[in-house]
Structure 1
Amino acid sequence: MIRCDEPRGLGVPDAEARLRFEAEPQRSGGRTGRRLLVVDGEPAFELSYWCGTCPLLFRRLVTANQKLSLEDLREQLTGTLAEPGDGGVIDAFGALLPQGEYLPVLLRVEPRLVIPGREGDYFSGEQVDSSGIDQFWGLPEYPHTPYYRTFETAVDASAHLYEFVVPMVPPTWNDRERVEEYVELMDRGAVPTAVAVSTLDVCEPAIAFGDDQSQHWGLTHFLLDGHHKLEAAATAGRPVQLLSLLALGEGLASADDCARLPALRAQPRSARTQGPAAQGSSPADPR
């Protein structure tokens, strides 16, 4: 299931926004600093590097310790939204975000919890197949957080879409009783709603490497509300609804790429066919 509104202006001035996207000042030699997701004035996640030829990335930083749930909407979001704009949810969460254009997309996802370095980890699996390991560290990228994988599909013969849901704080911080409450609700057929601000990054290796030379489209949903719901859905093997507010202009993707997302997200799920995981190193990271 997917429902999509037209892009709309949302948000408040940067100084008032609890969440915003920032770029660090240029480093020596004129290189652009890191792209960051900032929460309550503190860097929370490092994002994919500007060049688009470095690997896809969301890396939790030590100052990421805040959720952005709205308790006034807790009861409403315990149920299913029929449309993205139902009940003023978009405007309520839009007040947490910086001014900009956002594409509201309402999805139904079946999350699978992934631990970095273990089975199903994108960073030590598909990304290594495409880009190799980091030349400096001699290791795959490491996101410093568990995360959820929810969907993937082919963009075309040379590109593949990967979807992730990233909690602002680890699932181990969740209240066990609330997780169990949502498990029980889902077992009775409820499909509660989570809310996220999302980015689309289109990345591809600068130099041919390994068996998979595809472009990687990373659709990354950073949870604003729904940490307990996502863990419960992953635990119970149940679906959850996700209202994504896609931040247009904040990812490494063109307007045309972003416009294709609803149609791509409506396709059947399909994994990319890959050869054996590549061994070796990727080009030096310009960061």
Structure 2
Amino acid sequence: MADGPARSRTGLLDHAAPVHLGTPDAPLHFTGLREPGGRHLIVDGEEAFELSFPCGTCALLFRRLDEGARALAEGALHDHLDEGVPAIDDPSLRDLVSMILPEATYLPLLLSIEPVLVTPGDDHDYFSREQVVHRGIDPTLGAPEDPATGYYRGPTRTTGEHETLFEFLVPMVQPGRNDRERVASYEERLRAGGAATVLAVSVLDRTQPFDSFDAHTGLVHFVLDGHHKLEAAARVGVAITVLSFVSIDASLADEATAIGLPELLAR
């Protein structure tokens, strides 16, 4: 396994078989996988993020479009996650999560990730570093892709002779908008060895330029709950548990690759 950014490591703690979850009136959904106009993550009826275009050769992308996107886990779900590491097969937890996810088939993963906070253009920014090396700069842009948001890096894995898997955690709420006192409180908790769990809905996107043998795959976790915990873990430099529901339907990677993700993460 190749090393990711400084201080970053991860491990697959648990996974479950793909499961159908969600509700038709969920506050978020994905669009554009089989439609013109590109892909988007919609939150509360607004386009919150633009995602990788489904052409197969287009660049990996998550670009913030809505500064007002919110954390989606509230009440009992937030409290359940705040108690510590959940069991991935906990029926009550799945029922609560299902209320905020769009109807789809999901691969549940429980991960341990030591996140690295990234500012666009800094030394850890995928878009201005690895992506430029991989495919150059889009001549129509004249600059690297801009995610228009702070985000977090997980590890980077070499999964084949010409295959690299990148892991990202993308907060609904910009890190700069987090409450400083809550972040500090979680820092103390994590330093003392306390547990913390982040909830995410995720996609697995694969891209390979037409003139390259090398492919980049992005496992992109959109954070639904745990923004303060996540920033605290990055500041302290410790691993945090991430409960991820990978949408097989909304991913660009084919179903077999998505279902085989636990094997790739366990390497």
Structure 2 length-normalised TM: 0.92
Superposition map of 1:216-235 within 5 A? 216-235=216-235
The Cα of 1:150 is off from its aligned counterpart by 1.0
Residue in structure 2 matching 1:3, options 5, 14, 21: 14
Report deviation, 1:86.
Answer: 2.7
Percent identity, please: 45
How far the C-alpha of 1:75 sits from its partner, in A, is: 3.4
Structure 2, unpaired ranges of 5+: 1-11
Q: Distance in 2 between matches of 1:8 and 1:157?
A: 31
What secondary structure, in the 3-state scheme, does the structure 2 residue paired with 1:217 have?
A: strand
Q: Spell out the pairing of 1:276-287 with structure 2 (5 A cutoff).
A: none
1:158 paired to 2:162: yes
In structure 2, the partner of 1:185 is: 189
**For the Cα contact (< 8 Å) 1:179–1:231, is it kept in 2?**
yes
Tell me the secondary structure at the aligned position of residue 119 of structure 1. Answer: coil
How far the C-alpha of 1:264 sits from its partner, in A, is 1.0
Deviation at 1:34, TM superposition (A): 1.5
Structure 1 counterpart of 2:159, one-letter code: V
Mapping for residues 60-99 of structure 1, pairs under 5 Å: 60-62=64-66, 64-86=68-90, 88-99=92-103
Query: 2:26 maps to which residue?
Result: 17
Give 1:65 shift: 2.4
- Mapped partners of 2:17, 2:91: distance in 1: 17
SS of the residue 1:253 aligns to: coil
- Unaligned 5+ segments in structure 1 are 27-31, 268-287
* Structure 1 letter corresponding to 2:260: R
SS in 1 for 2:259: helix
Distance 2:41 2:159 in 1: 26
Structure of greater Rg: 1
| Deviation of the 1:95 alpha carbon | 1.1
* 1:254 paired residue number: 254
Q: What residue number does 1:196 align with?
A: 200
Residue number in structure 2 paired with 1:278: none
Cα deviation for residue 180 of structure 1 reads 0.7
Distance of 1:160 and 1:17 partners within structure 2: 33
Offset, 1:190: 1.1
Match of 1:145 in 2: 149
- Name whichever of 102-111 and 82-91 sits farther off: 82-91
**Structure-2 separation of matches of 1:56 and 1:7:** 24
Q: What is the SS of the residue equivalent to 1:182?
A: helix
Moved more, 56-65 or 36-45: 56-65
Q: Would the aligned equivalents of 2:73 and 2:100 in 1 still touch at CA under 8 Å? A: no
The alpha-carbon deviation at position 237 of structure 1 amounts to 0.5
More displaced 10-residue stretch of structure 1: 141-150 or 63-72: 63-72
Residue 199 to residue 25, structure 1, CA distance change in 2 (3 Å): closer
Give the distance between the partners of 2:34 and 2:244, measured in 1 at CA: 29
Separation (CA, whole Å) in 2 of partners of 1:196 and 1:82: 13
Q: Summarize the Cα distance change of 1:119–1:138 in structure 2 as closer, same or farther, 3 Å threshold.
A: same
Contact 2:33 2:54 survives alignment (8 Å): no
Tell me: CA distance 1:77–1:111, structure 2 relative to 1, closer, same or farther (3 Å): same
> Given that residues 119 and 125 in structure 2 are in contact (C-alpha distance below 8 angstroms), is that contact kept between their aligned partners in structure 1?
yes
Per-residue CA deviations over 1:32-56 (Å, capped at 9, x if unaligned) read 2120000000000000001010100
Name the SS of the counterpart of 1:36 in structure 2.
strand
Letter in 2 for 1:156: G
Residue-by-residue CA offset, 1:150-196 (whole Å, 9 max, x unaligned): 11211100101000000012101101111011101101101200100
Please tell me the residue identity of whatever aligns with 2:31.
Answer: E
Scaled by the length of structure 1, the TM-score of the pair is: 0.85
Alignment map for 1:105-120 (pairs within 5 Å): 105-120=109-124
